[in-house]
Amino acid sequence: MGDKKILRLNSSGRSPWYHADGTVTKSYVIGVAGGSASGKTSVAERILKNLNVPWVVIVSMDSFYNVLSPEQSKRAHENNFNFDHPTSFDYEALYETIYKLKHGKSVNIPIYDFSLHARSDKTTTIYGANVIIFEGIYGLYDKKIRDLMDLKIFVDTDADIRLARRLQRDIAERGRDLEGVLQQYTRFVKPAFDDYIQPTVKHADVIIPRGLENVVAIDLITKHIQRELTERNLHFRWDLANIPIEDGIPPDVLVLPETNQIKGMHTILRDKKTARDEFVFYAERLSTIIVEAAFNLLPFENTTVTTPVNAEYHGMVFRQKLCGVSILRAGGTMETGLRRVHSDAVIGKLLIQTDPSTGEPQLHYCKLPADVKDHQVVLMDATIGTGAAALMAIRVLLDHDVPEENIIFTVYLAAPVGLNVIAKAFPRVKIVTSMVDPVLSKETLYIEPGIGNFGDRYFGTEDE
C-alpha cells in the first residue's frame, strides 16, 4: 500500500535509438519539482499522455529516500521523522540512475512503500526510455542532476490546496491518520517547503501555476517537447544505403569452411521444394555445427583430469556463464543447436520486427537474465541481410552492460553489406556464419540466392 508505481508506456515497438555507427542518442530528460501534493505526478502523467510517444517513463524521487536506521524508522511511524529535509535523499544513486537511463542503459529502481516508510524488497527494471520524467520535491535541488535535464519544471500550487490534497491522499493511500498528517505537515513539510523547496523554483525553465488544471501550460510544454524530439530525430530513419561500406567480408568474420557436408545441408535448406520436417532436421544439424564453431571462440581454461586407468589427462574446460539470446522468430531456430552444445545455457529473447511503413527495425520485446552482463553471449539469428536487426540486438546487449568482446553473433547465412555494417559499428563482436551470399537485392532487401524466410519455413507458417 502507498507505493508510487513507476509508469511506463511501451505500447509499440521502439525505433532505433542509436546511430548507424552504434552510438546512442541521449534520451530526453524532464525534471518536475514542487511541494508535496502540488500535482507533480499528475502533471508528469498528463504530459506523457499528451505526448503520445511510446517508450517513456516516470521515475519518482521517492525511490531514492535514504534507508532508515531502526531508530529513525520508529520515529517515522510516530510521524516524527523529517522526510522533507534535503539530506533525506541519496543524490548519488539518483544521479547514477538518471545518467544511465539518459545514456540508454538498463537500470533497477527501488520501489518505495510510504506506509512502511521503506523501500520494498522489490525493484523494477527500466530499459529503453526515449523520454524520462523525473519527479520529486527536490527534483531541481542537486546541480549534477539538474545538468542531466533537458527541461526543468516547477509545479506551483497554493499551500492550502497542497495541504488539503495531502490530507486526503495520505489518509486514503499512505496509511496515515488526520492527526499524524497534520503533525508531520506543521513540523517538517511546511518549513522544508519554505526553506528549501520553494527556492529551487529559480532553476526552473517553466513554472506551472495550479498544476494539472493549467491546461494551457501543459499544452505549451507538450508542444515544446514534441519539437525537441523531432529535432533530435528520435524517429531515426534507417538508411543503410547512405553508409559507405566495403563489399568484402570483414577479416574477423568466421565463415565455416565450404565442405561437402556444409554445402549439402545448404542445398537442402535453400531448395524451395524441401519439406518442413527435412528443413527442421537440417536446420538443427547445421545450427549445431555453427554453435560448435562459435564455441571455439570462447575462453577455455586448462584443466587436468584423471582417466579410468589413473593417468592424468591435460584438457580444457569452459567455466564461464553462457547465455544464448535469440532474435525472434528466426533466431529461435538455433536454440536446439545451442542446447546440444551447451545444455545449461540460459536463454534470452529479443523480438525485433521491421516496421512495414518505414522499413526500420523496431524492438518490441526484450527479456534477458538480470545478470546477462556476466555471461558470454551467443546472439542467434537466421540471416544477416542489411544488418539492421543485428545492430539493434547488439545495441540492446551493450545497453545491458554486456562487454562487446563477449558477444558472438551466429547465423546460417549473411550478406557482405550487413557483415560490414556490424563490423564497422561494433568491431569487437565476433560473427560466425555457415555461408556468405554475394547479393542483397536493393529492391527487396532479400539475400540472393538466399534461403527464404527461415522462420516461416522452420515453424511451418509459410503462406500457401
Ligand X SMILES: Nc1ncnc2c1ncn2[C@@H]1O[C@H](COP(=O)(O)OP(=O)(O)O)[C@@H](O)[C@H]1O
Give the span between the Cα atoms of 278 and 267, in whole angstroms.
12
Give the count of residues interacting with ligand LLZGTKA7 (CB under 6 A): 11
Q: Please, which residue, 162 or 424, has the CB nearer to ligand LLZGTKA7?
A: 162
- Nearest approach in angstroms of CB 86 to ligand X is 17
Q: Which residues pair with 414 in a beta bridge?
A: 384, 436
Q: Which residues pair with 152 in a beta bridge?
A: 31
Q: Please, which residue, 113 or 381, has the CB nearer to ligand LLZGTKA7?
A: 113
- Nearest approach in angstroms of CB 139 to ligand X is 10
Q: What is the DSSP string of 140-197?
A: TT-HHHHTT-SEEEEEE--HHHHHHHHHHHHHHHS---HHHHHHHIIIIIHHHIIIII
Q: Please, which residue, 175 or 359, has the CB nearer to ligand LLZGTKA7?
A: 175
- Closest by CA to 114, choosing from 40, 3, 37, is 3
| Of the residues 8, 14, 46, 117, which one makes contact with ligand LLZGTKA7 according to CB under 6 A | 117
Looking at residue 186, its amino acid is T
Contacts of 10 (CB under 8 A, 6+ apart): 54, 55, 128
| Site pattern 35..64 for ligand LLZGTKA7 (x: CB under 6 A) | -xx------------------------x--
Give the span between the Cα atoms of 342 and 336, in whole angstroms.
10
- Nearest approach in angstroms of CB 146 to ligand X is 18
Q: Please, which residue, 188 or 279, has the CB nearer to ligand LLZGTKA7?
A: 188
CB 298 within 8 A of CB 320: yes
Phi/psi at 273 (5° precision): -85, -5
| Of the residues 114, 134, 426, 458, which one makes contact with ligand LLZGTKA7 according to CB under 6 A | 114
Q: Is 290 helix (H, G, I), strand (E, B) or coil?
A: helix
Residue 65 sits in the site that holds ligand LLZGTKA7 (CB under 6 A): yes
For residue 399, the partner it binds in ligand X, ligand LLZGTKA7, none, with Cβ less than 5 to 8 A by kind, is none
Q: Please, which residue, 41 or 63, has the CB nearer to ligand X?
A: 41
Give the span between the Cα atoms of 59 and 422, in whole angstroms.
33
Q: Please, which residue, 213 or 292, has the CB nearer to ligand X?
A: 213
List contacts with ligand LLZGTKA7 (CB under 6 A).
36-37, 62, 65, 76, 83-84, 114, 117, 137, 189
